[in-house]
A and B are shown apart, each in its own frame.
Chain A
């Protein structure tokens, strides 16, 4: 399992963090996502055999946010 932190600077409310965290319900390979609007970042724990980093970042982008390695 890999745990990585990303900067997400374009969240604009606490609900954005909740939207991003919602990804863990849709991707079995994502163990957990902790997103913070205050800190402007998200920490993702995922199983690299089931989901790739690129897939996670693409899913975040589809929600309208830009995640960059922090």
Chain B
């Protein structure tokens, strides 16, 4: 349910604007032409009552088409779930397309016009001639369904999310929520195309261009974060922050899994939590609900050179605390991830360098075993959306 609300808000705030940049002008413009009495005259006039029905049909068809697409993606995704690295690549690609579109809309240079999808002439002619029908309500239905063929950047991101939804129903619900959220902006575009005319639409698109540009940069930043890139803004600024966490409790090595100081009674479930750790000896223990409450961190205690250093990271709804941790080099480290009524995407924890990916319990504690690292190593961690980040500094 929470994911559906997020998808709806994404559609409402960014999806509609992004889709406007890629497809809105083309298809909503076609719809507007159907409503206009004469394209060549193109007089601005008041919004007439009969405009509402074709627009509603257009949006209903769009909703149905994307819901079906979501079901299909969910079904496919049940067999093929993209890992965070693949998603990061997709996010960067989408971000570049969005930035390119933003610069194109601002008319920075003609080269950015190559970021726009120009449908083949036979398709635009077919759409145009279909849109000319003045009384046939199948036209807006047809046009609405056609939008599924030219998804915008944010829609593609949502499609990727639908791919990872796990089932046809979840994928359909996700895309439906997103499309519903994006619908008001589409209505606005149709309204502007008829009410305000092309000239004012230009100014509106400039505003959209700036928003899309910013969103594109944010998307690229998120993709870089998920990849663990040192070039992301978050990584660059994280180096400016003081490290506030040092090893908590040394325990003798070798110990495969560290028992946290706030461990639950022996009856609590303990399970392997790492979903992916193909190239690094990473292990994890998970303690589910009722296990822990983020506790104050004890001061650093020096231990023997071969001891396992224990770090605690509090996973909160608004990110990770502390964002920068300090750990000894050349020693194994147990990183305890503590959640306490955490519902945000911060739960979807990724350490790119270790190819570690784990959906943390809403409340609980999961320990990640990190192998010894060289002095000077900066190990970045992030949520799978690249929104919340942090890093561990290994020093001698």
A contact residues vs B (CB 8 Å cutoff): 12-19, 21-23, 25-26, 34, 36-38, 40, 59, 62-64
A23–B199 alpha-carbon span in the complex (Å): 18
- A37 and B121 CA atoms in complex are apart in Å by 12
Q: Which residues of A contact B30 (CB under 8 A)?
A: 15, 18
What are 10 A-to-B residue pairs whose CB atoms are below 8 Å?
A: A12-B105, A12-B202, A12-B205, A13-B25, A14-B25, A15-B25, A15-B26, A36-B118, A38-B118, A62-B40
Chain B 36-81 interface residues, beta-carbon cutoff 8 Å to A = 39-42
Q: How far is the CA of A14 from the CA of B128 in the complex (A)?
A: 13
In the complex, which of the residues B26, B113, B128 contacts A38, with contact meaning CB atoms closer than 8 Å?
A: B113
A19–B124 contact, CB under 8 A? no
Cβ-closest chain A residue relative to B105: A12
Question: Of A12, A19, A23, A34, which contacts B107 at CB under 8 A?
Answer: A12
Contact A13 B205 (CB under 8 A): yes
CA of A17 to CA of B41, assembled, Å: 17
Which 3 A-B pairs have CB atoms at the shortest separation, nearest pair first? A15-B25, A15-B29, A13-B25
Verify if B125 is at the interface (C-beta below 8 Å from A).
yes
- Asked whether any CB of chain A lies closer than 8 Å to the CB of B87, the reply is no
Let me know if B198 and A21 touch, CB within 8 A.
no
Known contacts A12-B105, A13-B116, A64-B198: A18-B128 contact under CB 8 Å: yes
CB neighbours (8 Å) of A14 from chain B are: 25-26, 116-119
- CB-based nearest A residue for B206: A12
Closest chain A CB from B17 CB (angstroms): 14
Q: CB distance B121 to A26 under 8 Å?
A: no
Kindly report which residue of chain B lies nearest to residue A62, judged by CB atoms: B40
List B residues 88-139 near A (Cβ within 8 Å). 105, 107, 110, 113-114, 116-119, 121, 124-125, 127-129, 132
- In the complex, A23→B114 CA distance in Å? 24
Distance in angstroms between the alpha carbons of A63 and B124 in the assembled complex = 18
**Residues of B contacting A21 in the complex (Cβ-Cβ under 8 angstroms):** 121, 124-125, 128
